[in-house]
Structure 1
């Protein structure tokens, strides 16, 4: 029975091999399907990798150093390139920027705009480029040129400083020499001043001695002169009475116009020049403290032959220092081709050594020398007389020594006009008529009394001003 089941319904080796074959076939089929499916994914992945690789690396890029440096477990080529880009950005602009446009914007903002805005260079075209190296080269060339100029300027400055030092030394040498020369000049001046002082002292002593001799001689004759003066004074008083009686006859002979006449009183000298050195501005006259001199008094200088009728002098001197018997005078005016010598006469019609002279001043005077007579010009004449010791009086008497007469005040002509004009000008015309009457009366009385009448020009000439 057992054998029959084996032959009729059991598995044989063929059955086993058949089952095994089918199993293997199924497994193979499954594996083939699986392999086919995986291969398609691998191919798609390969294509994707190829496309990505094409984006990253192409045939010519394999020669880049980053390609050789890239490794499977190390840095990639893209990372190396990014690192190189960042280093290039740091090298170019000093910081890691995103791209070249940002770098160009930074360069424009921080370099080019400053170069253009500051106007440090004349030509900015070399710097307006997309390439940094040419701009850097242009900057270097500009810097090199500036450096050469600065180096040349420093060399010139050093040369100038050296030359200045040499000039300073030369200046010091010259100044030292000049100081030495100045000291010598000062020494010479001091010696000359000492000699001059000694000369002046000796000259003053000599003049004083000479004048003293003259004063001794003058005193010998002064007694007789004083006696005669006393006699003359007595006779003068008697003459005053005679002159009053004689005035009527003199009025017929006198002239109303002012004429020079002989002017004997005005032509009387007051002293002499006792010492004069040609070329020296100082002279000495034989008048001193005892003759009532005052500093600032001026004398006209005349030749020893005498004082001319018109009173025109050869020069004018001013008293600056008074001794007992002499006075030092400074020359303040000289006529052309004239010099003051010893023996010349000095005179001032205002000055008198013994008494104060009296003056009457009438008329109009040209005080400022413009050729126009001024009714107030007589004040200048009066001030000169008072300055030099004279006495200006308003009333003419026999004791008046001189009448200084200007131009006759004009008499206003009768002018037809309104009553208002007559009222306004009446007082002024009346004053002028009164002044003319005073002038005519004074001149007539002076003529009758034989009082010398000096015109403005003659008066100034006797003072040495013309």
Structure 2
């Protein structure tokens, strides 16, 4: 009996040892499998990041090709299927965190001037519309010093959770280092949103375009009742959309009121006539908010 008990005890011990060894090996295999899965996930993430980076670089090269083609035609090539609103102008060269400033890879040779603003975009995403349909970047910078091939810019807008990195893309709708875009500006604007539309603010938009290297193809004569677009226009920039004028009552006899309504009606028809022309000619149409977001405008 004692001998049998001893054998049973030995078998139980052997079983326990075997079970412990099996548990250790199972845990080891599970750990190795988990590591392999994590490595696979990391590798996939790296591949996805590389793919996005390459796609972004391909888009930049496509834009450069479109720009070269445009130098011959004077307008962004439609055949290249490039939206001129998404053209990248340069990159962040380095970040001066303590000075709240950055270096960019554009300078005097690229016709950059102090006061010019740029929006900053993630290179993995590129220049894309936000949820409101605007092209606001993750931050805004303003040029303060210009050198031959680089410039220093101060950061004038950046949300709390945003960061700027070397290699980030920069863009300004008006500016282009190789091509002068042509703008048609129409209507009344309220740039600082003070609740008052004015022709003065339209002139500020026009001056911005001229100062930063764009070409203005609309003049005072084009602010009348029958403005006309043509294929030579790259962007149509419109002021605030007018409301449909309330028609005077049938009993209205005041010639001033009747004339005022007639003028308002002509402005309304002219505005939406331009919208129709822009769509027919495939010209990008920008309202005030979209235009300002794409040039990095901020209230000084």
- TM-score bucket of the superposed structures, by smaller chain: 0.5 to 0.7
- Residues 374-417 of structure 1: CA distance to partner in whole angstroms, max 9, x if unpaired? 25343343233233232222252212111112332223222235
Question: Aligned-pair distance for 1:343?
Answer: 0.6
Is the Cα contact below 8 Å between 2:247 and 2:261 reproduced in 1? Answer: no
Q: Find the structure with the greater CA-based Rg.
A: 1
Residue 392 in structure 1 maps to residue 224 in structure 2: no
After TM superposition, the score normalised by the length of structure 2 is: 0.64
CA distance in 1, matches of 2:178, 2:158: 28
Residues 328, 234 of structure 1: alpha-carbon distance in 2 compared, 3 angstrom cutoff: closer
Paired residue for 1:44? none
Cα RMSD, aligned residues only: 3.3
Paired residue for 2:94? 275
Aligned with residue 412 of structure 1, among 241, 245, 250: 245
Residues 228, 378 of structure 1: alpha-carbon distance in 2 compared, 3 angstrom cutoff: closer
Paired residue for 1:302? 121
Is the Cα contact below 8 Å between 1:277 and 1:341 reproduced in 2? Answer: no
Residue 285 in structure 1 maps to residue 104 in structure 2: yes
SS at match of 1:341: coil
User: Equivalent residues in 2 for 1:115-126 (5 A)?
Assistant: none
Paired residue for 2:224? none
SS at match of 2:86: coil
Paired residue for 2:14? none
Paired residue for 1:229? 68
Is the Cα contact below 8 Å between 1:263 and 1:452 reproduced in 2? Answer: no
Aligned with residue 140 of structure 2, among 316, 319, 323: 316
Is the Cα contact below 8 Å between 1:278 and 1:339 reproduced in 2? Answer: no
Question: Aligned-pair distance for 1:233?
Answer: 3.9
Higher helix share: 1
Question: Aligned-pair distance for 1:441?
Answer: 1.6
Is the Cα contact below 8 Å between 2:67 and 2:179 reproduced in 1? Answer: no
After TM superposition, the score normalised by the length of structure 1 is: 0.42
Residues 263, 434 of structure 1: alpha-carbon distance in 2 compared, 3 angstrom cutoff: farther
Paired residue for 2:47? none
Is the Cα contact below 8 Å between 2:252 and 2:258 reproduced in 1? Answer: no
SS at match of 2:84: coil
Question: Aligned-pair distance for 1:284?
Answer: 0.7
Question: Aligned-pair distance for 1:424?
Answer: 1.4
Question: Aligned-pair distance for 1:267?
Answer: 1.3
Question: Aligned-pair distance for 1:264?
Answer: 2.3
Using CA pairs below 8 Å that are at least 6 residues apart, which structure has the higher relative contact order?
2
The answer for unaligned runs of 5 or more in structure 1 is: 1-221, 241-261
CA distance in 1, matches of 2:70, 2:217: 27
Is the Cα contact below 8 Å between 2:183 and 2:217 reproduced in 1? Answer: yes
Paired residue for 2:170? 346
Question: Aligned-pair distance for 1:327?
Answer: 0.9
SS at match of 2:272: helix
User: Equivalent residues in 2 for 1:8-407 (5 A)?
Assistant: 229-230=68-69, 233=72, 264-305=83-124, 306-309=126-129, 310-370=134-194, 372=195, 374=197, 376=199, 377-394=201-218, 395-407=228-240
- Residues 175-232 of structure 1: CA distance to partner in whole angstroms, max 9, x if unpaired? xxxxxxxxxxxxxxxxxxxxxxxxxxxxxxxxxxxxxxxxxxxxxxx9xx67983488
The answer for unaligned runs of 5 or more in structure 2 is: 1-60, 219-227
CA distance in 1, matches of 2:202, 2:274: 15
- Residues 72-116 of structure 1: CA distance to partner in whole angstroms, max 9, x if unpaired? xxxxxxxxxxxxxxxxxxxxxxxxxxxxxxxxxxxxxxxxxxxxx
Residues 426, 380 of structure 1: alpha-carbon distance in 2 compared, 3 angstrom cutoff: farther
SS at match of 1:301: strand
Is the Cα contact below 8 Å between 2:66 and 2:76 reproduced in 1? Answer: no
For these two proteins, the number of residue pairs brought into alignment is 220
CA distance in 2, matches of 1:304, 1:228: 19
CA distance in 2, matches of 1:397, 1:239: 14
Is the Cα contact below 8 Å between 1:364 and 1:409 reproduced in 2? Answer: no
Residue 450 in structure 1 maps to residue 282 in structure 2: yes
CA distance in 2, matches of 1:273, 1:233: 29
